[in-house]
Each structure stands twice: as C-alpha cells, then as structure tokens.
Amino acid sequence: MRYGMVIDLSRCVGCQACTVACKQKNGTPPEVFWSRVLMSETGKFPNARMQFTPILCMHCEKPACKTVCPTGATEKQANGIVTVDQEKCIGCRYCMVACPYDAREFNYSSLKSQYAGQKLTAFERTHEDKHQVGKVGKCNFCADRVQAGQSPKCVETCPAKARFFGNLDDPQSEVSQLIAKRGGHQLQAELGTSPSVYYLPV
C-alpha cells in the first residue's frame, strides 16, 4: 500500500479552494500554507493562458528530508505517507533545505488569530497545540481522514474535481489508471526522490 495523489492540470482553475480547505482542516498559522497553487503564464499572445500548478508535500518514496533529519522526526509510514513528529523535531530546518519542492513550513511564532487584533476564536483554539513554536510542519495527506477511510480535505473540496487519491501500488486503482492512460508525470523526477504526487498534462 502506497498512497498517492493525481492532479489533473487541465481541470485546475486556480480557485485556491484546496489552499483554504487545507488551512481550515489543519488550523495552520496565518503565514503558513501546507498547500498552495502556483500561477504562471504559458504561450504567446493571442494564445497565452494562465497555468495553475497545485503544490503540496510530495510524500516521496525516497524523501530527501528524511535522509538529513538528525533526530528521526521525519518518518515514512508503511502506507507511504511522510510525517513529522513534533516532539522529536528540534527546528534545525535541514529538512526544509533538502526538500526540492519547498513543501515544509517553520512555525516562527505561536498561533495567532486570522483576524488582526483579535483573540483566537473557539475554532482556532482547537488547533493551538498542533503547531509548536520552533518546529517544522507540512502536509500529511490528512492522515487522520485517510485512516478513517476518507480522502484528504483538498481532494474532497476541489470544485473542479482535479484531484484524485488512492493506492499507487494497485495497478487497478483510479490513480494508477489515470497515470498510465494520461501520461502522469512527477515534478523534478530526475532528482530520484520518486514523488507520490503525479500531474496529468493539460
């Protein structure tokens, strides 16, 4: 079992619903984004168009972040999900330097309200202990939802149905079939980290 995600670039409209859903689910501080959408322009006038590329932790099969972690805080679970143990993390940020996808975030300060000048809301307080100061955090494929048989929040939320989640080790799974039939590719595959997030071409 190796969980992975497929993102259809022809469907992504850059609405940032995934970004918002991720923040809502994980309660990350205002400056911290575990999921984001990069925007670029392709083509030439009059055929220029916007290109949207969702980015998150790639949950690599050979994660560079795990290799450099001096305390073993970064772990690769049996199901392929790469996690960070906040209790073991010492905030050295070696993993942030090693990650070629810029997918990790450092918590510089304690959680503060999304509403400037206001105290934490009741909802924000439920996430207060999840993001320790001086520690690194990142996407974990919503491991708690996956364990409960649900898809990651970004997959469930995407209004364009551009995201798919499943078992990459099963050739009959939806994600494996999409990769095979549509020519799914990994970002910076030449680095040898073997990401578990694949992109379908426009």
Do β-strands 49-55 and 36-42 pair in parallel, antiparallel, or remain unpaired?
antiparallel
Quick: pLDDT tens for 117-141: 888 888 888 887 788 899 999 999 9
CA 202 to CA 1: how far, in whole Å?
28
pLDDT computed for residue 193 by the predictor = 97
Report the chain's terminal Cα–Cα distance, integer Å. 28
Q: What is the DSSP string of 154-198?
A: HHHH-TT--EEEEETT-TTSHHHHHHHHHT-B-TTGGGS---SEE
What local confidence, expressed as pLDDT, does residue 30 receive?
A: 81
81-97, pLDDT tens digit by residue? 999 999 999 999 999 99
Asked whether the predicted pLDDT for residue 6 surpasses 90, the reply is yes
Rg of the chain on CA atoms, in Å: 17
Q: 48 falls in which pLDDT band (50, 70, 90)?
A: very high
| Token pair in block for residue 151 | 């898809």
Task: For residues 15-27, give the mean pLDDT.
Answer: 96
pLDDT number for residue 173:
98
Which H or E element spans position 153? Answer: helix 153-157
CATH class of the domain whose range is 3-200:
alpha beta
- How many Å apart are CA 124 and CA 130, to the nearest integer? 11
Task: Please tell me the predicted confidence (pLDDT) of residue 124.
Answer: 82
pLDDT at 55: 98
pLDDT, position 7? 98
pLDDT at 35 exceeding the cut of 90: yes
pLDDT at 78: 97
Domain map of the chain by residue range? 3-200
Label residue 60 by pLDDT band (50, 70, 90): very high
- Burial class from Cβ neighbours inside 10 Å (0-12, 13-18, 19+) for residue 75 reads middle
pLDDT, tens digit, 9 for 90 and up, residues 173-193: 999 999 999 999 999 999 999
- For 174, residues 6+ apart whose C-beta sits below 8 A from its C-beta are 6, 164, 166
pLDDT of residue 129: 78
